[in-house]
Amino acid sequence: MNARFPDNPLLGPLSRADFITDNLPLVDTVVNRHFRSQCATTRTPLADAISEGSIGLINAYDRYNDSAVPFGAFAFPHVYGEIANALSRRPTTGIKIPEWLYPLIKQINAAGLTDEQPEVVAQELSITADKARQALRCIRIKSTDALPEKDTRGHSDDYTYLDADTFLARLKPQPKQIIRMLMADYSQSEVGRALGMSRQSVRATVLRVRENYERYEKISA
């Protein structure tokens, strides 16, 4: 059991991962009843909407605190809201990394702290936990060892633009869900527990996605 995301005692004897897996049909129901038309309009695969809704289901599990309320009723707005927010952002323009994060990301990589919690990184590097959290989120979706120190792509808002949305749209549902959860600040171990995978399998998936993304960047350059 993880101290940050423990099993919820109000939801019975099932482990966190098993309970979430058993309730995934709720996400399917929400997508098919409420978002099928919007998915068609925005050209969003239903599997993508289900992946987004699964994050809402996980959040509902972690936040459930009233046994008088059926879990389905409690979880519905979380699932619905996560899907609605994701669809409202389509089409999006990409992932932006603030330039000031680059030196910090390189420090974290050099110190071998990429898989640590933000609090550990903050203590080791004498920075705030918020800065550590932002840097780790970027590291988990993109290896930055080869990125430039400064923005060289001409953006006046001092951001380096990573055109990742088209690439993410091509991923299969499971890798896409893993990346989305990592972007939502879940660790690789937490993603593995939620999806019924080993941490090693999650890490291997992330490495494959990174390699494919680097090839995609070269082709798109």
pLDDT confidence of residue 219: 59
pLDDT confidence of residue 143: 44
Q: How far apart are CA 93 and CA 157, in angstroms?
A: 15
Above 70 in pLDDT, residue 42?
Answer: yes
Average pLDDT on 6-35 reads 90
pLDDT confidence of residue 25: 92
Q: How far apart are CA 39 and CA 13, in angstroms?
A: 36
Which among 55, 60, 62 is positioned nearest to 3, based on CA atoms?
62
Out of 21-30, 182-191, 208-217, the most confident range is 21-30
Average pLDDT on 137-156 reads 46
Average pLDDT on 188-205 reads 83
Above 80 in pLDDT, residue 205?
Answer: yes
Query: How would residue 166 be classed by pLDDT, with cut points 50, 70 and 90?
Result: low
Q: What are phi and psi of 197, to 5 degrees?
A: -120, 160
Average pLDDT on 27-56 reads 87
SS3 per-residue string spanning 130-193: HHHHHHHHHHCCCCCCCCCCCCCCCCCCCEEEECCHHHHHCCCHHHHHHHHHHHCCCCHHHHHH
Q: Is the dihedral of CA 130, 134, 139, 145 positive or negative?
A: negative
Above 70 in pLDDT, residue 88?
Answer: yes
Average pLDDT on 78-96 reads 72
Above 50 in pLDDT, residue 210?
Answer: yes
pLDDT confidence of residue 31: 92
Above 90 in pLDDT, residue 67?
Answer: no
Domains annotated on the chain, with CATH: 10-88 (1.10.1740), 95-160 (no CATH), 163-221 (1.10.10)
Each residue's pLDDT tens digit, 90-146: 654 344 566 677 788 888 888 888 878 889 898 989 898 888 888 887 776 554 333
- In the chain, pLDDT over 70 holds for what percent of residues? 75
Least confident of 16-20, 51-55, 168-172, 192-196: 168-172
